[in-house]
Amino acid sequence: MAVKSVIEAIREGLQEEMRRDSKVFVLGEDVGLRGGVFLATQGLMDEFGEARVIDTPLAEASIMGVALGAAFRGMRPIPEVQFSDFIWPAINQLVGEAARTCYGTNGAVQVPMVIRVPYGGGIRGGLFHSQNVEVFFFHTPGLKVIAPATPYDAKGLLKSAIRDNSPVVFLEHKKTYRLVRGEVPDEEYTLPIGIADVKRTGQNITIVTYGLMLHYCLEAAQQVEQEGIDVEVVDLRTLSPLDTDTILNSVKKTGKLLIVHEDNLTGGVGAEVAALAADQAFEYLDGPVRRLCGPDVPTMPFAQTLEDAYMPNTEKIAQALRQQAAY
């Protein structure tokens, strides 16, 4: 075991998979010589050369189109979208084409590509470098959507995503890149896609969350433990397919559910989790299902005070837990 940051774990996962399979290559803006704006691909061009670490123009539609065509021909491309905010020109390639190809060809054409997408706020990125885009892909059958929160999960799920024959949107919260560190095995390992992880066991309330919010939820759970509130924290890790069994088992045990995510409240991942609990665990519930999410504003504000108001944080989550416990 070695302690690594999220960005180090991602870089290591890319490197291992490129060594393992010559069909794996990366492409995107500044991924080569510069090693990516966050240095996720640092050193890969030195080892694998320009043919497998491709610096592209600033053209997301073209990046995704080239990756899609390569996947059709049996390659395993990993296109990077430099910031989630820049993904919109590539939507047709992803939602209109990649997500529908396997279904439309009755399985004859696979689309083994992993779209790496740095996303999320809390970094003073403002309107165009902080967006949460997960729900657009969560809503789209045919795409797998992964949002890890720890180095261990990031590396293991990235390696599985690269080996998968479906298009995978791999969301990496920018604030976790160097903030979050944890143990990563030295030996080879992968993690199964579609399996949530109970990061903290508890008896009174279930929190369902993902990404950066996991760490705030764990802090809040520890805080309210001193007040006699025992919280179970479920890290989704994979948004699509959703691990309904883990969610339901936890809710049936605790009887109360709080869903926390940074994305907008309306129509988000939390709405689907809430509907799941209401539909399949209603008789176990001992209170209303609650959501603590970003407000319904178009995007993340730049001013520190406004960004703080937008973002869920440890104290907001702790207060929501107290309200749930008191119901």
Give every CB contact of residue 124 below 8 A, 6+ residues apart in sequence: 302, 304, 307
58 burial type by CB count under 10 A (0-12 exposed, 13-18 middle, 19+ buried): exposed
Whether the upstream peptide bond of residue 241 has omega within 30° of 0, thus cis, is yes
Q: What is the pLDDT of residue 232?
A: 98
Task: Measure Cα distances from 80 to 6, 26, 201 in Å.
Answer: 16, 7, 35
DSSP conformational letter for 127: T
Question: If you average pLDDT over residues 146-170, what whole number do you get?
Answer: 98
Q: What is the pLDDT of residue 196?
A: 98
Q: Are 197 and 209 in contact (CB under 8 A)?
A: no
For residue range 223-248, list pLDDT tens digits in order: 999 999 999 999 999 999 999 999 99
Q: What is the pLDDT of residue 286?
A: 96
Q: Which two tokens stand for residue 162?
A: 């690269």
For residue range 163-177, list pLDDT tens digits in order: 999 999 999 999 999
For residue range 251-303, list pLDDT tens digits in order: 999 999 999 999 999 999 999 999 999 999 999 999 999 999 999 999 899 99
Instruction: Give the whole-angstrom CA distance, residue 115 versus residue 161.
Output: 10
Q: Which domains occur in the chain, in start order?
A: 2-184 (3.40.50.970), 197-326 (3.40.50.920)
For residue range 193-215, list pLDDT tens digits in order: 999 999 999 999 999 999 999 99
Q: What is the pLDDT of residue 299?
A: 87
For residue range 2-32, list pLDDT tens digits in order: 999 999 999 999 999 999 999 999 999 999 9
Indicate yes or no: pTM above 0.95.
yes
Q: Known catalytic residue: 129?
A: yes
- For residue 101, pLDDT over 90 is answered with yes
From the list 129, 173, 215, 261, the catalytic residue is: 129
